Amino acid sequence: MNEDFEEWQDFGTDSGHALHWIQWFVGLDGNDFLLEIDESYIRDPFNLCGLRIMKNYDSAMEMILGYAPSEDIFMDGKFLDLYRSATDLYGMIHARFITSPMGLQLMKEKYLQGVFGQCPRVYCQGQNVLPVGFSDSLHNHRIKKYCPRCQEAYIFKNGEPHADLDGAYFGRSFPHIFLLSFPQLIPEDAPIPYEPKIFGFKVHNISSLIQIKLQNGEFGTSAANKERKSQINRQQLQLAVDDDRVMAVAQLLEMKSLVEHRAHFTQENVNQMYEHDANLAEKAQVAVDHNLPISHYNLEHLDRPGTQKLEPTMYRLSGGFNTGTKS
């Protein structure tokens, strides 16, 4: 052990400090993203494979497994150098711990509580985010936040307490291992794309990044399936509305009966139609006022895909129409 470190151990057991270094470190401002790693995990050599090459490894490990330092000791430059080594070593162990079963469960609790924040994209509607690094090596990139809904990474604003955390403390793989481990947390709804418009009109041939990713199926099968189901439901709803309109018109006009009995289409029929479809009733009124055959007023909207097709020739009436004034 480093002799200087032995001198700094005055903050250890004999000094009366009960707070362990790990508890103290994760409790610092800006470190609440970090988990309190179980000491048994740190003491297992298997979990530390490849980390011995780090600077001041032995002394840094002693510090991590020791007790919280006193404030005045930070005036010592040598201590600060060792402290930085200890924080980096803890961060690299942390990147491994959060992908372990215990670590994933603890990170899940933080995620559900919204500790890591929300996506800054408006159309993600406050989706909780996960921490991610752009590199598995130290001192290359700061921490970023990854949104499971739009599947994009965002920087932390300057001044945010977590903005200076090293991205390697979480690594590049964590969010994806997390979502594979907890598939029920993957957002089922595809993200809403932003539609560029000028004076209310869509801009031709300009699509947002989210729209392009949706078209390419990059949001996975669950989002794609839900989007397809949503489209089908909308189509089925429209068809159901159309079917109801067809049935209502058929019943009100009593088409077959009128044809079979050579009856007349009267003002009373029009008045009944106003209760169900004013637009269609107005067209029927024109037929009554001008003594036109039924096929002349517009029934094209009854020939939509998925509805019963009505042949206009079936509803021509021989003879004249009873005319009347609109009530």
Q: pLDDT value at position 75? A: 82
Q: pLDDT value at position 76? A: 83
> How far apart, in Å, are the Cα atoms of 235 and each of 127, 241, 248?
29, 10, 20
Give the other-Cβ count within 10 Å of 255's Cβ: 17
Contact indicator for 98, 110 with CB cutoff of 8 Å = no
Predicted confidence band at 304 (pLDDT cuts at 50, 70, 90)?
very low
Q: pLDDT value at position 322? A: 41
In the predicted structure, residue 299 carries a pLDDT above the cut 70: no
- Ordered domains of the chain (ranges, CATH): 3-97 (1.10.1820.10), 105-185 (2.20.25.20), 244-315 (no CATH)
Task: Give CA–CA dist 103/85, Å, rounded.
Answer: 23
Select, from the ranges 195-209, 216-230, 238-252, the one with the highest average predicted confidence (pLDDT). 195-209
Give the other-Cβ count within 10 Å of 63's Cβ: 26
- 179-218 pLDDT, tens digit per residue, is 999 999 999 888 888 888 888 887 777 667 777 777 777 7
Task: Give CA–CA dist 36/103, Å, rounded.
Answer: 9
Task: Give CA–CA dist 77/66, Å, rounded.
Answer: 19
Phi, psi of 149 (to 5 degrees): -85, -55
Predicted confidence band at 293 (pLDDT cuts at 50, 70, 90)?
low
174-181 helix and 101-112 helix, angle to the nearest 10 degrees: 90
Q: pLDDT value at position 139? A: 95
Residues found in the chain: 327
Q: pLDDT value at position 317? A: 37
β-strand partners of 132: 144
- 131-145 pLDDT, tens digit per residue, is 999 999 999 999 999
Q: Could you give the residue ranges of the DSSP H alpha helices within 145-219? A: 174-181, 209-215
Predicted confidence band at 325 (pLDDT cuts at 50, 70, 90)?
very low
Q: pLDDT value at position 251? A: 57
Q: pLDDT value at position 162? A: 87
Mean local confidence (pLDDT), 99-116: 97
Task: Give CA–CA dist 141/161, Å, rounded.
Answer: 16
- 113-126 pLDDT, tens digit per residue, is 999 999 999 999 99
Task: Give CA–CA dist 286/291, Å, rounded.
Answer: 8
Burial of 233 (0-12, 13-18, 19+ CB in 10 A): exposed
Task: Compute, in degrees rounded to 10, the torsion defined by CA atoms 296, 302, 308, 313.
Answer: 0
Q: What is the mean pLDDT of the chain?
A: 77
Q: pLDDT value at position 11? A: 46
